[in-house]
């Protein structure tokens, strides 16, 4: 089943074109990795998919579970099952994790025509999902991400992902700023959420994360285009040889 289909996607920010015709198709049950050098448009792609207001789509089409993704407001993309794990999770002083999660859950349930979750079920769900990423109970009373360590912030992202049970998770540089233990906890969290009905799009600089989250397909993004798509062995090759050879090939082909 087709989860996400991106066709000829062009997008710009402040008048500068960043994505210059992306084509990508993700099937349900698969993990795709997007790699590429700095400034190639990886984060722009995840921001455009989740609906960041600073980016403008100038051309192209994105279909998510059969729906026109780009026509949906940000929160409805989330309700439909799109989740983006932020590269830099935002601190929200004064809004407790409990309040934040309860609001997020009940807004989704409202969208789906369901009753708000009972307090007992909510507490049970929170505990179950916290255990998955080893966050202790005290953390629910803290303000969202405020004063969290780098590792806690990323674990919090995976915790929220586990609670919201998205169909498609975009992990934007989830490995950045993580030590090896935190990386393992995050990766185990992601892996345990994997089902034949869900997909993940893993954006990363390094092969390291892909040792833990095994991709089915690897794409290389450069200058706003996907310049190579291959199996997981491509990530290993990139780790060894860098991006230069691919970029050279791409430029020779286009000159």
Partner 1 sequence: MSETNYSEIFIANRSLIDAGSSPVMSALRDRAYDCYTRYGLPGTKVEEYLHTDIGAWFGPDWGVNLKRVALPVNPSEAFRCNVPNLSTQMHFMAGDSYLKKDGQPSLPDGVLCGSLLELSESNPDIVSRYLGTLADMEKPGIAALNTMFMQDGFMVYVPRNVQIEKPVQLVSLMTDAVPMLACRRILVVLEQGASLKLLLCDHSSAGSQCMSMTVTECFVADNASLEIYDLEETSDRNTRVMECYVSQQRDSRVMIQNLSLHNGKTRNSVFSCFKGPGASFEVNGIAITDGQQHVDNFTFVDHEATDCESRELFKYVLDGQSTGSFAGKVLVRHGAQRTVSQQTNRNICLTADSRMWTQPQLEIYADDVKCSHGATVGQLDEKALFYMQQRGIPMKEARMLLMLAFLGEVIDRIPLDSLRARLLGLVELRLRHGQSRCEGCGVCK
User: Shortest approach of partner 1 to residue 161 CB, angstroms?
Assistant: 10
Q: What span, in angstroms and rounded, lies between the C-alpha atoms of 19 and 59?
A: 10
Residue given tokens 């409202």 in the structure block: 110
Q: Closest Cα to residue 37, out of 204, 171, 191?
A: 204
168-172 and 16-27 beta bridge pairing: unpaired
Residue 93 as a binder of partner 1 (CB under 8 A): the answer is: yes
16-27 and 2-13 beta bridge pairing: antiparallel
Q: What's CA 54's distance to the chain center, in Å?
A: 18
225-230 and 92-96 beta bridge pairing: unpaired
Q: Closest Cα to residue 178, out of 159, 203, 151, 204?
A: 151
Residue 57 as a binder of partner 1 (CB under 8 A): the answer is: no
Residue 55 as a binder of partner 1 (CB under 8 A): the answer is: no
Among 28, 70, 72, 95, binds partner 1 (CB under 8 A): 95
Residue 89 as a binder of partner 1 (CB under 8 A): the answer is: yes
Footprint (CB under 8 A) of partner 1, residues 158-197: 160, 164
Q: Closest Cα to residue 22, out of 54, 61, 52, 66?
A: 61
Residue 143 as a binder of partner 1 (CB under 8 A): the answer is: yes
Residue 141 as a binder of partner 1 (CB under 8 A): the answer is: no
> Which DSSP category does 139 fall into?
G
**Site track for partner 1 across 13-52, x = CB under 8 A:** -------------------------------------xxx
Q: Which is nearer to partner 1, 43 or 160 (by Cβ)?
A: 160
Residue 108 as a binder of partner 1 (CB under 8 A): the answer is: yes
CB 129 within 8 A of CB 162: yes
Q: What's CA 101's distance to the chain center, in Å?
A: 18
Q: Which is nearer to partner 1, 164 or 247 (by Cβ)?
A: 164
Among 2, 75, 179, 197, binds partner 1 (CB under 8 A): 75
- Residues linked to residue 11 through DSSP beta bridges, in sequence order: 19, 57
> Of 82-90, 147-155, 177-185, 222-230, which segment contacts partner 1 by CB under 8 A?
82-90
Among 111, 121, 127, 128, binds partner 1 (CB under 8 A): 111
Among 86, 148, 159, 222, binds partner 1 (CB under 8 A): 86
User: Shortest approach of partner 1 to residue 228 CB, angstroms?
Assistant: 29
Give ∠ CA 108-110-113 in degrees, rounded to 5: 115
What residues line the site for partner 1 (CB under 8 A)?
Answer: 50-53, 73-75, 77-79, 83-84, 86, 89-95, 99-100, 103-104, 107-108, 111, 143, 160, 164
């Amino acid at each position: 089943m087709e989860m996400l289909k991106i066709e000829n996607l062009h997008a710009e920010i402040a008048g500068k074109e960043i994505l210059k015709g992306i084509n990508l198709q993700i099937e349900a049950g698969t993990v795709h990795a997007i790699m590429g050098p700095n400034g190639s448009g990886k984060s722009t792609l995840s921001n455009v998919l989740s609906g960041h207001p600073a980016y403008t789509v100038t051309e192209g089409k994105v279909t998510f579970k059969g729906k026109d993704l780009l026509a949906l407001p940000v929160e409805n993309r989330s309700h439909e099952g799109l989740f983006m794990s932020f590269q830099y999770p935002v601190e929200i002083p004064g809004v407790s994790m409990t309040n934040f999660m309860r609001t997020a859950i009940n807004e989704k349930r409202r969208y789906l025509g369901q009753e708000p979750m009972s307090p007992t079920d909510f507490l049970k769900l929170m505990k179950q999902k916290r255990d998955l990423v080893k966050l202790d109970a005290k953390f629910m009373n803290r303000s969202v991400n405020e004063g969290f360590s780098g590792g806690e912030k990323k674990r919090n992202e995976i915790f929220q992902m586990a609670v919201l049970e998205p169909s498609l998770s975009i992990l934007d540089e989830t490995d950045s700023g993580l030590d090896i233990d935190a990386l393992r906890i995050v990766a185990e969290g992601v892996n345990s959420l994997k089902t034949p009905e869900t997909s993940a799009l893993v954006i990363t600089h390094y092969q390291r994360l892909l040792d833990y989250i095994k991709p089915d397909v690897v794409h290389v993004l450069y200058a706003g285009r996907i310049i190579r798509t291959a199996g997981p062995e491509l990530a290993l090759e990139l780790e060894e040889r860098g991006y230069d050879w691919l970029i050279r090939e791409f430029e020779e082909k286009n000159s």
